[in-house]
Structure 1
């Protein structure tokens, strides 16, 4: 089965993410034009996340480590890792999660 999702028509999720194509084992989503924010709460997910930064800048805090993210960077957040993002400039990124995020 082929699934096609156009980002302009895709539904938004509970946290503002745009839900893109989703299979049985992996899901994709986009964080589009996230405004600067330094107060996102830390979270832990039971899925692994890999992402690619399209535009903007952010800091990804993984437990006791901080990683600067800029356009062209990719990143990985292992399942079960406490993490948060500090958005420094309006931020757009594509993420894939496995298994697919709910």
Structure 2
């Protein structure tokens, strides 16, 4: 039985915040109590449970974004911010 999809913003709402090149700026909170994606004041806020060790939190963010966008994690590319809370990802265009 498939797990129900968490209540994330729609893929369209996330894509609307990306620039013309598909770059999406994200503010990350690692080590949170729960995982979520929010849009607040025109910014994408992502909370992940994973601690920021050896890139694990960044991978968790990429996986969460991919799930919200309904694409494979390999299609979400991190461009900047490997060790920062402010990250920049390239997301695929709508199919």
- Shorter-chain TM-score range: 0.3 to 0.5
Whose strand proportion is higher, 1 or 2?
Answer: 1
Whose helix proportion is higher, 1 or 2?
Answer: 2
Structure with higher RCO (Cα < 8 A, 6+ apart): 1
Larger Rg: 1
